[in-house]
Amino acid sequence: MRRKRLTLKIRSKKRFSNKKLKLPYVSYALPPIVLFCFCVFFYCHFFTSSPANEPPHSISISNHSSLAISTELIPHSISITNHSSLSASPPPPPPPPVYEKPNDQKIVYEKPCDYTNGRWIRTKRNPLYNSTTCVNLKESRNCIANGRPDLGFLYWKWKPSECYLPRFEPNTFLQLISNKHVAFVGDSLSRNHLESLLCMLNTVTKPNGFSHQSFTRWLFPSHNATLSFYWSPFLVQGVERNNQGPRYNNYNKIHLDHANMRWEKDMDQMDMIVLSLGHWFLIPSVFYWDDKVIGCVNRPVSNCTTDIGFYGPIRRALRTALNSIIKKKVKKGNGIDVILRTYSPSHFEGAWDKGGICSKTEPYRAGERQLEGENAMIRRIQFEEVERAKARAKELVKAKPKAEKFKGFRLEVLDVTKLALLRPDGHPGAYMNPFPFAKGVSKHVQNDCVHWCLPGPIDTWNEIFLEMMKNMAQAAEE
């Protein structure tokens, strides 16, 4: 049933060599990079969107002491799939998934632990992968290949206050997702997270990747496991700001009352969803409810008179997404696991467009950097909405007639905000591009202080993710 539906949906398949892990990108689903930045206080936000190659231009925000500026860069690594030519000579479909029993490796369960609080300590161990073992690493994240000279940032591990965080075990992870489909839904940071996971899994087995208009999938035939990425930076319906081309659109249009159909329509095929949101709400946006304008943020248009900020909209969008999952899953009685990955802070020093950089080469020490301001607020909203959704799901389950089987709806938080906040050294910075100083250091060089180098501290997110999966599997057995 599932196989058939999958096959029908795939308009353009791309088979990938088994020798390499490739990260395919589709032009529509995964638009290339735009960098937007709000210099609020002393650092900025910075993230990705749409295709263009223009000199940066600035937009002033009247209701801010600061500026919002955007620049757009074409990432070299994004390949545009020509759908029509692909469908003209379709490649063979991926082989049917066969689940071979993996090595009978005993999964060791750690005691559940609070991974949120802790510190970064030095380690001598090498990262699980490098750009040789994970070929086709997205260029803009491949900091070492791009010439980043200081490698010290690779040699830190997260030490939770009350326990140890084990190293990522790719085989254990694959065992836990055997016969499952785990979908990542979000923006380029969600993709960054998934790319780290793929690089780590790639050290033991090679997936077959393929792209569709609304998602990219990686099948692990050895475990009949599927990972997928759905580009949906708002989680709800909307049109992303796009400074160029025929779909020119100077601001986001975000419909807070409808979950984005791109991922919502495939929900029945998913066993686990990893959701995240944040940065895209900070740029000029108009918010809609029931197709009516309810407010905006950062003056997207001159007739926007009601600045409602971005906290309320982030909360509403998350609530709408979670409600949609609850409605579809809990009411139908077939459960799903939902992981909300919390906000990932950025680390600009100075104005991003005046040489703003992330120059640190070491983590912050305990107490050196507090969780505060937007980082704290967005994370708090995410926790509050998860609690709210849990309570709502519970109510719905209670109201169900006893005879109705319910397979469970689980909702957990993957809290990365604090550990990420302490890693100003983990971003590509100037090494988002190859050898940025080859022509001299005086030249202005764009920095990326939002996404994370691969390998890098973002790999820790997956170590915690694995521990969560182990605990969930254990809880299900009990």
Ligand X SMILES: *[C@@H]1O[C@H](CO)[C@@H](O)[C@H](O)[C@H]1NC(C)=O
Q: Which residues form the interface with ligand X (CB under 6 A)?
A: 2, 63, 82, 84-85, 88, 97, 99, 130, 132-133, 179-181, 224, 226, 286, 293, 296, 301, 303-304, 307
Q: Nearest approach, Cβ of 456 to ligand X (angstroms)? A: 14
Location of structure tokens 């923006």: 187
* Closest of 472, 49, 6 to residue 241, by C-alpha: 49
Location of structure tokens 């692990």: 220
- What are 309's two structure tokens? 């900020």
What is the spatial order of strands in the sheet that 336-341 belongs to? 208-211, 216-220, 225-231, 181-186, 272-275, 336-341, 409-414
Distance CA(464)–CA(76), nearest Å, equals 31
Q: Nearest approach, Cβ of 54 to ligand X (angstroms)? A: 21
Distance CA(420)–CA(345), nearest Å, equals 7
Q: Nearest approach, Cβ of 393 to ligand X (angstroms)? A: 23
Q: Nearest approach, Cβ of 297 to ligand X (angstroms)? A: 9
3-state SS, 46-112, equals: CECCCCCCCCCEEEECCCCCCEEEEEECCCCCCCCCCHHHHHHCCCCCCCCCCECCCCCCCCCCCCC
Closest to ligand X by CB, 133 vs 471, is 133
Closest to ligand X by CB, 2 vs 20, is 2
Q: Taking the C-alpha atoms of 294, 297, 301 and 306 in order, what is their torsion angle to the nearest 10 degrees?
A: 50
Q: Nearest approach, Cβ of 98 to ligand X (angstroms)? A: 7
Cβ(360)–Cβ(449) below 8 Å: no
Closest to ligand X by CB, 2 vs 122, is 2
Closest to ligand X by CB, 30 vs 134, is 134
Q: Nearest approach, Cβ of 296 to ligand X (angstroms)? A: 5
Q: Nearest approach, Cβ of 310 to ligand X (angstroms)? A: 11
Closest to ligand X by CB, 115 vs 310, is 310
Catalytic residue positions, numbered: 188, 448, 451
Task: Please state the φ and ψ torsions of residue 6, each to the nearest 5 degrees.
Answer: -60, -45
